[in-house]
Homo-oligomer: A and B are copies of this chain.
Amino acid sequence: MANDRQEPDSSKAPTSADVARRAGVSQTTVSQVLNGKAGITRISADTRQKVLDAAANLGYTPNHAARSLRERRTKLIALVMPTIGNPYFSDVVHAAQEVARDAGYSVAVIPMRAAGDLRTSALLQGAACDGIIATGHDNCSSPDLLALKARGLAVVVVQEPSPDPAISSISVDLEEGGYIATRHLIRQGHRRVCHITERLRALPDAESRLGGYRRALAEAGLPFDPELVFVTENSMEGGAAAVDRLLELAQNSPTAAFVYNDRLAVGALARLRERGVNVPGEFSLVGFDGLAIGAFTAPALTTIDSPREAIGRLAAETLIKAIEDGYQTGQTHRLPVRLVVRGSCGGQPAP
């Protein structure tokens, strides 16, 4: 050995031809040994071992591009989300990843802030992945998503209505969640229950939190008052701002709120505290999602827990089935939710 130093980065990665040469066999044999479905008794134990040794010595790793090109599949799933850093989707992703791994797929999360990102991300274009799990309103409703599907990618959407009958969607039962949350507040004696929400969408009642909210109201014989629906930005600041607005309602001001998600609820809770409104004494709150933070707020947050792992698992299973079957069934899964009672809503407030 003239020089044991590691070569610089230029140490070209070994190819299967290198392995073949070193093992004294053909490239085919290398391929067979390394990928051969077990039981294809094609290779002698001796040859097999030689190949394995050579591959190990060389530190051989199959070139992904070459394999993908040849096999016309990548074993890669893209998970598109509006932003990373959302604890809700963290659990979804983890579950999806586990299912994917067991099926031999890897998962890459593609953060999508800008609208055009679906068109520009290298992983989504040119068959760089086999399928897409899409989350977030903008991504799921984008025509670009349909274009990707039209190019042969399998697509599943999560927590959004399916943009195309052939695309499967996995989500929790938002309507039921809204119903349970609102009913819980009404049962505590509240008569004026408001709803704090982000952007209002044109969804059928049966598919939205708002629909459930209205159903609970109707069931209790309470009127639906559009003035009690506060639309705000989807952030903690947004939740706080909504509280400011609802506290301005001089008369008939609400005594409770069903809040779109826990993030908004955390902001609302903070602002109520700042404004000296006692929760749950004077005002009650129910959130949505079941985030961990809800157990650490003051008071802890009553919320609608969403089966995040189940969502991720189902999304991955559905997607992988679509990939491997070569066609999409366009089924809709709607998962049940669960009320988690904590400190943010008490009994009947002072009238």
| A interface residues, Cβ below 8 angstroms from B | 6, 8-13, 59, 61-69, 74-76, 78, 83-91, 93-94, 97, 101, 105-111, 113, 120-123, 125-128, 147, 149-152, 154, 235-236, 240, 266-267, 269-270, 273, 292-293, 295-298, 326-328
Contacts and interface: CB of A to CB of B under 8 A. Distances in A.
The 4 A-B residue pairs with the shortest CB-CB distance in the complex, in nearest-first order: A85-B90, A64-B126, A64-B128, A108-B108
Contacts of A86: 85, 90
Question: Could you say how many copies of this chain the assembly holds?
Answer: 2
B9 A328 contact: yes
Contacts of A147: 59
A60 to B, nearest CB: 10
Contacts of A110: 106-109
Contacts of A67: 126
Max count, chain B CB within 10 A of own CB: residue among A64, A123, A152, A293? A64
A150 B6 contact: yes
Max count, chain B CB within 10 A of own CB: residue among A91, A123, A150? A123
A127 B327 CA distance: 30
30 contacts: A6-B150, A8-B327, A9-B154, A9-B328, A12-B152, A13-B152, A59-B147, A59-B150, A59-B151, A63-B127, A64-B68, A65-B65, A66-B69, A74-B122, A84-B84, A85-B86, A85-B87, A85-B91, A97-B111, A106-B110, A106-B120, A106-B122, A106-B123, A107-B110, A109-B110, A235-B292, A240-B296, A266-B293, A269-B296, A298-B298
